[in-house]
Structure 1
């Protein structure tokens, strides 16, 4: 792929490292950012679903943006989650993230309220129009209760700041059609489906698994980009047990932290309620043991 999208291709949906008493751990944030950069990530999403967005304050998301941007020193794009089911809150969050130095905004559709398509378009338009920072829409109906239709995405694609979509619907056929019809940069947001989405033309990934194995998610993108689907399948075969182990028991925010703590990248797997701390699933422990054994 000759032209890189404006917000990168290899994006990690970063967890928010915390101390056992629930405070954000800046030293662990810095260690995790170093780990993601060493693994080749060119984008880091803070304050998204995996970052426990509903439990973070606007000030905390701003502080995360500043900390990650300072640590990356321009080596990766910093994208801030700003979605909520209150439009005025999302607008304020977008402005705060832009002020903090975010390179992009991740805007999930409003949850719980289940608005009409007109309401979804007006909400997203209002938030996307409040700054000049590029916006990635986030379509995840299993969490929000509503999905963006092709017609709505086509309307939103006309907005100058809307550049792409994180697609977490899990419907590959619809995803291919929407990418073709809207022209938006299409990112896979379901780790178990990374390979088929990339092979079908997704520009990149916004990945939970990249927290744990960024070098492998990067190799997957590179192999598909080179047209070497055989090599891509080999990488995918390595990644798939990890993806299933992290995402199928879930929630990914807790299991990814458990895996990172087990691997020594962060010092604690602590999360904030309503999530509770999890042990690394057995499949993930086996994967980590195999990857770190002398014969691996």
Structure 2
């Protein structure tokens, strides 16, 4: 069984002059590996896959996988950073074909949301995910994000799907404490917070971690938060989380991933580019993000880590 615990980063796709910036993408993988994250999600919503054609998606994934493997090649005893791949759509047969292509790659799993726009019945959702899980040689992470797909994975549906041997985790963005708690208590699926502001609650309740876009910005602190909470150092974890809350809130004050890209660009890691219909973060929000990540904030983090 795969382990989907810890802090996972759903990688942005950096652009330079309209093209994918593969050098910046490799550097980001190295950066997050060094920060101690548990793994990466390639081609998730934060990676703007809808703005990439099929060849670009394959090239982005190839770069991420190669860079993740390079982590193991570059340090004695280091392991390759696990990579989960987002697979989205509402045409089951086409998605099965995509998953069968991915079976040949050294990935840790696939992250799959409910079919968007068409709003199928819960029975249709079970059939859809079952067909995709049957086609996959890799573990499946369910992605419950009804405000994007238009349909919720009801608790009974999630518990039914949990019986499938390859469905092993859920990215929980439903905003239902009852559902989160029921899944954790059931114990068959690893529950990853998908709403960054819910990381503290989810991990304290017994969830396995988070897939957190805002962890792009201060990855070491998100890792420290997870480690403190899982080691029962609640006071330390609470302090770290409270320090991160303003940054988390700012990172989602405008459509993701524009705020994250704005601050990564200010840090000199990428160009501040997105593809339409996504647009850059406003100047006001960019300035707010920079202030939250300024020298004083970094110095305070350094003091707490010592």
Does the aligned pair in 1 maintain the 2:4–2:208 contact within 8 Å? no
Q: Map Cα deviations across residues 268-293 of structure 1 (whole Å, 9 max, x no partner).
A: 12111111122453331111114566
The equivalent residue for 1:68 is 64
C-alpha distance in 2 between matches for 1:253 and 1:85: 23
Q: State the distance in 2 between where 1:182 and 1:126 align.
A: 23
> Contact between 1:47 and 1:56, CA under 8 Å: does it hold in 2?
no
1:216 Cα deviation after fit = 0.8
Distance in 2 between the 1:20 and 1:274 partners? Answer: 16
Q: Do the aligned partners of residues 276 and 127 (structure 1) sit closer, same or farther apart at CA in structure 2, a change above 3 Å counting?
A: same
Distance 1:24 1:98, change over 3 A: farther
Distance 1:291 1:153, change over 3 A: farther
TM-score by length of 1: 0.92
Structure 2 distance, partners of 1:234, 1:219, is 11
Q: Provide the secondary structure at the position in 2 that maps to 1:252.
A: coil
* Distance change >3 Å, CA 291–CA 264, structure 1 → 2: farther
Q: Quick one: which of 14, 17, 22 aligns to 1:17? A: 14
Tell me by how many angstroms 1:98 deviates: 2.7
Structure 1 Cα separation of the partners of residues 5 and 48 of structure 2: 22
1:158 maps onto 2:163 in alignment: yes
How big is the shift at 1:58? 3.3
> Could you report, residue by residue, the CA deviation over 1:212-263 in whole angstroms, capped at 9, with x for unpaired residues?
111011011101001011000111011111100011x221211111111111
TM-aligned CA deviation for residue 38 of structure 1 = 1.4
Contact conserved, 2:4 with 2:190, CA < 8 A, in 1? no
- In structure 1, the partner of 2:42 is 46
Unmatched tracts of structure 2, length 5 or more: 70-78, 302-306
Alignment equivalent of 1:56, drawn from 46, 52, 55: 52
Task: State whether structure 2 residue 268 is matched by structure 1 residue 264.
Answer: yes
In structure 1, list runs of 5 or more residues that go unmatched. Answer: none
Matching residue of 2:286: 281
Q: What TM-score comes out, normalization by structure 2 length?
A: 0.89
SS in 1 for 2:192: strand
Call closer, same or farther: CA 1:16–1:118 in 2, change over 3 Å: same
**Larger displacement relative to structure 2 (9-18 or 170-179):** 170-179
Pairing 1:32–2:36 present: no
Q: May I ask how many residue pairs the two structures share in their alignment?
A: 290
Rate the CA distance shift 1:32–1:193 in 2: closer, same or farther, 3 A.
same
- Report if the CA contact (8 A) 1:42-1:75 is conserved: no
- The CA RMSD measured in Å over matched residues stands at 1.8
Q: State the 1:202 CA deviation.
A: 0.8
Instruction: Please state how far the C-alpha of 1:92 moved relative to its aligned partner.
Output: 2.2
Please give the secondary structure, in 2, of the residue aligned with 1:209.
helix
| 1:251 is aligned to 2:247 | no
Report the 3-state secondary structure (helix = DSSP H, G, I; strand = E; otherwise coil) of the residue aligned with 2:268: coil
Distance 2:198 2:297 in 1: 25
Measure, in 2, the Cα distance between the counterparts of 1:285 and 1:126. 45
Give the superposition deviation at 1:97.
2.6
SS in 1 for 2:257: helix
- Alignment partners' CA distance in 1, 2:46 and 2:141: 16
Give the match's secondary structure for 1:124: helix
Cα 1:113/1:292, change in 2 over 3 Å: same
Alignment-derived partner of residue 74 in structure 2: none
Which aligned pairs between 1:187-198 and structure 2 lie closer than 5 A? 187-198=192-203
